[in-house]
Structure 1
Amino acid sequence: MKRTLIATGVAAGLLALPGLSVAQGGGFVEDAKANLSLRNLYYDGDYKNATGAPSDREWGQGFMLRFNSGYTQGPVGLGLDVFARAGLRLDSGGKRGDADASRQPGTMFPLEDDNSAVSEFSQIDFAAKAKVSATEIKAGRGFEPALPILTRNDGRLLPQTYSGVMVTSNEIDNLTLRAGQFDEASSRSWSHYDGLRIAGGTERVNKFQYAGGDAQLGDNLVASYYFAKLKDYYKQHYLGAVHTLPLGEGKLVTDLRYFDSNSTGANRSGEAGYGAAGVFNNGEVDNQAMSALFTYHRSNHSLGLGYQAMRGDSNFAFVNNGDGATAYLITDSQIGKFERAGEKTWVGQYGYNFADYVPGLSFSAKYLRGSDIDTLGNTGDREWERDLRLDYKVQSGVLKDLGVSLRHASLRSDVARDEDQLRVYLTYNFVLL
């Protein structure tokens, strides 16, 4: 608990440092923002056919303090971002790897030396930033990228973060250009940073580079292109487009995505420790992922239908350190990702906002069915997943803005462990500045 108090106190103390006054810093403090987010999570994973992997049930409390300064005055504005976070274990059972136990630690907390869950963990990250005209440069730690070629995972108590350099430019109207390099990642259940890899690889590297941007083409179309490269693993091109079409009393949103991923460096030459998962060519990355999702919104309803196809000899390539990762796919869901070699997946989803009856209440359901999965000696494996979600945010009174999210999912698969999963989130956000 001592580390938790120190981390939170250091971040909060930035707001009172004597040198950071409005007179000296101009917009550094004037435009600063700070908030404290609370997240309470109960997680229950019930594994149906996994030998030696009993169910895990965990409960924890997370604290996330974010401070984002404004910029100093002058042609080059300078600033500082701070992200302090801490997690407390309220419940977790057994020891990882104990096949005789009825419960094991899951993926919410780091582990002690005896493979039991720690009682608490914390971390504080700093990032310096500079702004020239409409171009912003950030360098440091605590980044939470939300890009097609790299998206942080936020499915447990605390979010995954990255370290490196990010550049974002809006010098040209209707065009946002982005570039950067990341060297390490901190898992959603870690208090340290480590190198990067993909699923199937064991060697970690310290260079993920990317460049690209998003263009607003008229009022209803956004087109995107990005190139990314993870040293000694893969290089990847991404093309995407989101189009909105007024249709009847509603609107039709079309989301198109295409990834082309190929091997590079040690992965291409077949060096040990750099192989990809789901392959037939000595671990070499080879994947093309194509998808289309059509969603019709009308009044409080939304109805979506999508299709995704994987081609090539490997699974979809993305940064995956093996401790929780998110892929920018229409099939990335509560449990599975449906990203295996050869897999073809249909997606159906429905959402309803109860604003007319119970303001703050919403519901969504999603169903995925994948087929034609390629595994060694078999090309006909299947899987399906059903996700149900109910969200509510208190609209008034003492508990205003308290959020409750109930999420249940079921996965049945020929190539992964069957699982029923329940998550209950309680969230609240304090605006400090």
Structure 2
Amino acid sequence: MRVMKWSMIALAVSAGTSQFAMASAQDDSKGFIEDSTASILTRTLYFSRDFRNNAPGTQSRREETGLGFHGLFSSGYTQGTIGVGVDAIGLLGIKLDSGKGRAGTGLFPNGSDGRAQDDYSKGGAAIKFRISDTVLKVGDQYTTAPVFASDDSRLLPELPQGISLTSNEIKGLKLEAGHFTSIVAQDHTYKDSIASSEPGTGTGLRDANFVGGVYSWTPEFTTSLYYSKVEDYWKKLYANVNWTHALSDDQSLAVDFNIYSTKSDGAGLQRAEKDGTTKLDNRAYSLQGAYTLGAHTFTLAYQKVSGDGDYGYGVDGGGTIFLANSIARSDFNAEDEKSWQARYDLNMATFGVPGLSFMTRYVNGSGANTGTTSNGKEWERDIEAKYVIQSGPAKDLSLRVRQATYRSSDGVYYGSASIDELRLIAQYPLNIL
């Protein structure tokens, strides 16, 4: 499930401003060193899952704490018609607390004895080329395309390897394409680890290609269209419509529509039926509307999956699910499943406490075809509080509490019908350059 998901308003603002190319970025280049930036993001994460009614003899609790360091160096571009630069990524995870009976949260790699490793690291680099407002990048890089998005919901993020091309030459239009051959999972250090239990098993990402773009018709209205193909897994078509409108100085409306059409490709390694006889051929869509009044935002959403199979993702990035009801614990993406969401956000800046915010939401799903039932039901309730320090030596330090309560009708989801989850997250970004 996507934790790094953009909000509807943030998406519209980003598309309506940063994507409007004004002057050529390469013409404004100051140089390889002069435009360089370097930063380190420190993340401390406590992660607990309590399986309330597991069968006797099975693990009933997963509980671990870790400290992650995310270093990123991004050079500027050399001057001239073609600018050349380098991006470098360094990631380190350190175990603060775990145990053989409590491992398995996804924070750390686990050894053959079932214990979490004390530490792990990974990293990489990419060379980049820029002509005018078009950038070609080759190597290790994060991705945010709705059909190929890396995930950052644990201690360290996923890290894909491949080639990407991004162009902002036309005012209001962002075009991008990518060719990727491997991914390093969040809790591993080897490539292709998303769908492989061991390195070299050959069951991970084979070859993924995508192309698409976002067009801002007005600062309030944007549309997106993407296509991807993951060899021997699936082909996907994605479309999005996003509209925001300010009613007054403290009131606004936002509407967001997302749809995926997925079909099996080649060997069809991801299949619709549990017995592996039917290939994927499904549609998954969500419609979400939000009304903001001062400090308060009220959101309603509806999501549906139809056709053969669940909406599948993961081998093409753990963040590749831009659907409204993909939340903290569940994605509500089973075959034939229908789900609705009610959400409330409170921004305390209006009441004189900038940086403090609260969120709660409830999602209910029904009609899921899981292989053992044709009417599977599930629900989830999330509560979150977040505070970002606004000034002083600890400026930008964020503290977050996230609690999720999950229940399903028959325990077919995630092997348990009842899960209580708690995450405590502290993040501090440090800009070096």
Q: Would the TM-score normalized by the shorter structure come out above 0.5?
A: yes
**Cα distance change on mapping 1:377 and 1:421 into 2, 3 Å:** closer
2: CA distance between counterparts of 1:127 and 1:184?
14
Show structure 2 runs of 5+ residues with no match: 1-28
Q: CA deviation at 1:245?
A: 2.3
Alpha-carbon distance in 2 for matches of 1:70, 1:165:
19
What is the aligned partner in structure 2 of residue 289 from structure 1?
A: 284
Is contact 2:339-2:365 (8 Å) kept?
yes
3-state SS, counterpart of residue 29 of structure 1: coil
**Counterparts of residues 269-308 of structure 1 (less than 5 Å):** 274-276=269-271, 282-308=277-303
Whether 2:166 is the aligned partner of 1:171: answer: no
- CA separation of 1:331/1:320 partners in 2, compared to 1, >3 Å: closer, same or farther? farther
Q: SS in structure 2 opposite 1:27?
A: coil
Does residue 82 in structure 1 map to residue 82 in structure 2? no
The aligned amino acid for 2:164 is M
* Residues in 1 aligned to 2:47 and 2:208: alpha-carbon distance in whole angstroms: 32
8 Å contact from structure 1 (residues 27, 71) kept in 2 = yes
Structure 1: 5+ residue stretches without partners: 1-24, 95-100, 268-273
Structure-2 separation of matches of 1:110 and 1:156: 12
The match for 1:118 is 117
Opposite residue 265 of structure 1, the aligned amino acid is G
Task: Report the equivalent of 1:271.
Answer: none
1:379 positional shift: 1.6
Letter in 2 for 1:153: D
CA distance in 2: counterparts of 1:339 and 1:202, whole angstroms: 26
Alignment-mate amino acid for residue 182 of structure 1: F
**Maintained 8 Å contact 1:62/1:158:** yes
1:226-265, Cα deviation, whole Å (9 max, x unpaired)? 0001101110111111011233551111001111111111
Amino acid at match of 2:290: T
- CA apart distance, 1:111: 1.5
Q: Does 1:253 align with 2:254?
A: yes
Task: Choose which of 331, 335, 338 in structure 2 pairs with 1:337.
Answer: 331
Q: CA deviation at 1:375?
A: 2.5
Give the corresponding residue for 2:50: 46
1:407 matches 2:413 = no
Matched residue, 2:32: 28
The residue type equivalent to 1:179 in the other structure is A
Q: CA deviation at 1:205?
A: 3.7
- Alignment length (residue pairs): 393
Once the two structures are superposed, residues 76-124 of structure 1 have per-residue CA deviations (whole angstroms, 9 ceiling, x without a partner) of 1000000101010000111xxxxxx4x3342110122322111000112
Whole-angstrom CA distance in 2 between matches of 1:398 and 1:277: 53
Maintained 8 Å contact 2:261/2:283: yes
SS across alignment from 1:379: coil
Which residue of structure 2 aligns with residue 182 of structure 1? 180
SS at match of 2:218: coil
Q: Which amino acid aligns with 2:331?
A: K
Calculate the aligned-residue CA RMSD, in Å.
Answer: 2.1
Q: Distance in 2 between matches of 1:308 and 1:126?
A: 38
Q: Is the 8 A contact 2:139 2:163 kept in 1?
A: yes
Report the equivalent of 1:327: 321
Give the TM-score taking structure 2 as reference length: 0.86
Query: Deviation digits for residues 377-400 of structure 1, max 9, x if unmatched?
Result: 532110000111100011223322
- In structure 2, C-alpha distance between the alignment counterparts of 1:377 and 1:169, rounded to whole Å: 47
Q: Which runs of 4+ in 1 moved over 4 A?
A: 195-198, 277-281
Amino acid aligned to 1:185: I
Identity fraction in percent: 33
Deviation at 1:193, TM superposition (A): 1.3
Structure 1: which amino acid aligns with 2:209? Q
Compute the displacement of 1:148 (Å).
1.2
How does the TM-score come out when normalised to structure 1?
Answer: 0.86
Does the 8 Å CA contact 2:158/2:185 hold for their aligned counterparts?
A: yes
Assess, with a 3 A threshold, how the Cα gap between structure 1 residues 44 and 326 changes in structure 2: closer, same or farther. farther
- What displacement does 1:195 show? 6.1
Which fold has the larger relative contact order, with Cα–Cα distance below 8 Å and residues 6 or more apart in sequence? 2
Please give the residue correspondences for 1:138-287 in structure 2 after superposition, counting only pairs within 5 Å. Answer: 138-141=137-140, 143-194=141-192, 197=195, 203-247=203-247, 249-267=250-268, 274-276=269-271, 282-287=277-282
For the 8 Å contact 1:326–1:332, the answer to whether it is kept is no
Alignment partner, residue 63 of structure 1 = 69
Alpha-carbon separation, structure 1, partners of 2:110 and 2:314: 22
Taking a change above 3 Å as real, the CA distance of residues 279 and 288 of structure 1, as seen in their structure-2 partners, is: farther
Distance 1:328 1:220 in 2: 19
Q: CA deviation at 1:359?
A: 1.7
